[in-house]
């Protein structure tokens, strides 16, 4: 009977011990939940900048979209297209460029120079011939326009390489480049009109989405976020070219960034970067070596033309740093994929240790 009392006492003590352990565990769990509750990590600096950029750019993009729709309704008006040969807006843009070059021959009117004028004249004829070939075929009839008369046999037998669509893209890019560099001159209004017409007609062909582009966009949507900053950098750099880059004197006035040597190549490089950024494939549309050379050229041109006593140089610098940073981040490996790989490796190691 003594043994039963002893066993009962031990059982009761064991139950009290176990109950004490259970209560201690509950208290520990409550203490853990209160002090170590999981909270989402704060947004990174890049995410905060992207959010600020979206907030600032949203009204600007909305206004630009409305203006673009209004301009599109004018260019796509049936009465205007009926007056154009084959309903081609590209031919209208080429005509405006040739008219600008003709007016630039007047000594009192500022132009783009003999070399630049000769290049634009020859490329304009080249683009006009390719557009003539395109609009004289059945494509014009399918679109509802009167096709142009057939091309001469001498022009029809040109090599196929001379008919590449990139020729029209380059011509539109050069037209937009000259229009921006000549901003402020009276003839710049004609250049701006030509740039808008060519940019719209050739731009919708350039930005046309293909199935492989859509697949690449879905595969790398996270990596395309940084490319929006290319547009910001290009806008800053292009805006800085309108300000003075040299110090004026009583005899020599100050000159803007658009009047500096090789400014046409610099502005064209900026526009090409912007077009590649807003295109569906982002900066991946450019060859890696070409992208590196573009970044090197912009940096080299800045250090050759900079003047610490002018406003334009200091405005160009933040845009240049932003563009170089985006190009560098573009070539960095995807950290998200690397983090997932490391997480899977750690999980496998833990299972091995538990096994």
Residues 197 and 249 in one domain: no
Phi, psi of 223, rounded to the nearest 5 degrees: -75, -15
> How many separate domains does the chain show?
2
- Is residue 352 in some structural domain? no
- Is residue 225 in some structural domain? yes
Residues 268 and 186 in one domain: no
Residues 188 and 110 in one domain: yes
Model confidence over 192-237: pLDDT tens digits? 999 999 999 998 888 875 545 544 554 444 445 667 788 889 999 9
Last residue of a domain, one of 208, 232, 260: 208
In this predicted structure, what is the pLDDT of residue 140?
A: 58
- Is residue 284 in some structural domain? yes
Top pLDDT among 173 and 22 is at: 173
Query: Which pair of tokens denotes residue 190?
Result: 């004609």
Q: Report the alpha-carbon distance of residue 91 to residue 40 in Å, rounded.
A: 57
Residues 88 and 130 in one domain: yes
Last residue of a domain, one of 161, 187, 208: 208
Last residue of a domain, one of 208, 229, 263: 208
Residues 86 and 192 in one domain: yes
Residues 96 and 145 in one domain: yes
Tell me the average pLDDT across 166-170. 92
CB 238 within 8 A of CB 180: yes
Model confidence over 126-163: pLDDT tens digits? 999 888 887 776 665 555 566 677 777 777 777 877 88
Q: Is the pLDDT of residue 57 over 60?
A: yes
**By residue range, what is the domain housing residue 133?**
75-208
Query: What's the pLDDT band for 270 if we cut at 50, 70, 90?
Result: very high
- Is residue 40 in some structural domain? no
Q: Model pTM?
A: 0.75
Model confidence over 302-352: pLDDT tens digits? 999 999 999 999 999 999 999 999 898 888 865 444 444 444 444 444 444
CB 318 within 8 A of CB 236: yes
Tell me the average pLDDT across 44-51. 69
In this predicted structure, what is the pLDDT of residue 59?
A: 80
């Amino acid at each position: 009977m003594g043994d039963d009392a002893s066993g009962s006492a031990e059982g009761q003590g064991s139950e009290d011990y176990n109950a004490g352990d259970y209560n201690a565990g509950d208290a520990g769990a409550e203490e853990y939940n209160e002090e170590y509750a999981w909270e989402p990590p704060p947004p990174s600096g890049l995410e905060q900048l992207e959010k600020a950029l979206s907030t600032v750019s949203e009204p600007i993009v909305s206004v630009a979209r409305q203006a673009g729709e209004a301009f599109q309704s004018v260019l796509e008006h049936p009465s205007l297209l009926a007056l154009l040969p084959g309903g081609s807006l590209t031919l209208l843009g080429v005509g405006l460029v040739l008219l600008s070059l003709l007016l630039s021959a007047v000594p009192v009117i500022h132009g783009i120079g003999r070399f630049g004028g000769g290049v634009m004249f020859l490329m304009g004829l080249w683009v006009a011939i390719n557009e003539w070939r395109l609009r004289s075929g059945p494509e014009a009839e399918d679109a509802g326009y009167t096709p142009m008369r057939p091309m001469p046999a001498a022009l029809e037998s040109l090599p196929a390489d001379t008919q590449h669509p990139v020729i029209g893209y380059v011509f539109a890019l050069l037209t937009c480049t000259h229009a921006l560099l000549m901003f402020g001159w009276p003839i710049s209004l004609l250049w701006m009109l030509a740039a808008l017409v060519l940019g719209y007609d050739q731009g919708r062909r350039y930005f046309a989405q293909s199935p492989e582009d859509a697949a690449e966009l879905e595969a790398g949507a996270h990596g395309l976020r940084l490319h929006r900053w290319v547009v910001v950098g290009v806008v800053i750099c292009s805006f800085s070219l309108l300000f003075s880059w040299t110090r004026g004197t009583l005899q020599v006035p100050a000159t803007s960034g658009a009047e500096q040597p090789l400014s046409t190549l610099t502005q064209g490089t900026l526009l090409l970067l912007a077009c590649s950024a807003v295109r569906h494939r982002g900066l991946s549309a450019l060859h890696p070596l070409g992208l590196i050379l573009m970044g090197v050229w912009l940096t080299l041109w800045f250090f050759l033309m900079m003047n610490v006593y002018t406003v334009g140089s200091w405005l160009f610098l933040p845009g240049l740093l932003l563009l170089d940073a985006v190009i560098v981040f573009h070539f960095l490996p995807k950290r998200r994929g690397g983090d997932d790989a490391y997480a899977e490796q750690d999980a496998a190691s833990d299972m091995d240790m538990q096994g």
